[in-house]
Every structure is written in C-alpha cells, then in structure tokens.
Amino acid sequence: MNILGIDPGTTTVGFAIVSDKWGKAEIVNFWVIETVPKDELKNKLRDIWSDMKELIAEYKPEIIVIEKLFFQNNLKTWIDVAHARGVVLYESILSHAHIFEYTPLEVKSAITGYGKADKKQLQNAIQLLFKLRELPKPDDAADAIWLAYMGYLNKRSLEF
C-alpha cells in the first residue's frame, strides 16, 4: 500500500511516498514539485496539476494526505496556496484514493507529542523513525513525509 503525503504551495509542493511493507512504514520517495517563482498563478497551477497527475499514476496511492491550510498574515499568499491546495485536492479526488487532511498542529502533536514543535524537531523525529542517515530535506518534502506517515498511522481506520 502506498500513501502519498502532500505539503501544498505555489512555488514548491512537497511530496512523499510512504509504503506499508509488512506492517512497517518505509519511505519510497520524497522531493518537491517546483514551479517557476515569478510565473503567473494559472501556469503554476497547471504545472502542479500535471505533476500531481503523474505522481498518482506512477505510485497509485491508496491514501493521500494533504496539509490543511492555516491562516497566514499575507492574505495573497494564503489565497494562492489555497488555489494550489484545491488543484491537489481535485486530482486526489479523481484518483479515488482515501483522503485525509491534517493541520500542522495535529501532525506535530502526533509525531513529536508537542503541537508547537519546530521543523527541526519534526525532521529529527522523521530521521529517527525511518533511520535516515541525515535530516530529510528540503523542508517541504520533509513536511510531506510526516503527512504521509500520518496516513500510515491512520490507515487502520479504513476498511480495505
């Protein structure tokens, strides 16, 4: 079973594939979908949609976990990221995968036991959990790993 974690954004979208191998979570792949920073939003959304479609076709996830948005001070950035999240959610729905959505606070609480943990603490937890030689980078991809891991932890709530 493959689980896809997605950390939405407009310039970078973090993604991670975690697989359930004999009852143990294993990282299959992680990185970022990148768009041209100064490009128009419509072009970025097209690129994100295209790459999401390819990711889903390649890995055929049964569960997709997408980070919920939390309000930021910059309303324009928040709205643009909401558009990108919508594209990710739409393509996820078309895949017929089970979809989970979590806020950063929910994930931090589940992974570290502390809802206000910083990114470094989460990266350290992921490094220990998956026995990685170094901290997972870039940050957006590391975020996607813990989202996918949340899907792994909560897959038991589904009937397969």
Residues that are catalytic: 7, 67, 140
The structure tokens listed for 109 are: 């609480």
- Contact present, 65 and 146 (Cβ < 8 Å): no
* Cα distance between residue 4 and residue 28, in whole Å: 10
Q: Please spell the DSSP secondary structure of 62-91, one letter per residue.
A: SEEEEEPP---S-HHHHHHHHHHHHHHHHH
* Cα distance between residue 75 and residue 155, in whole Å: 34
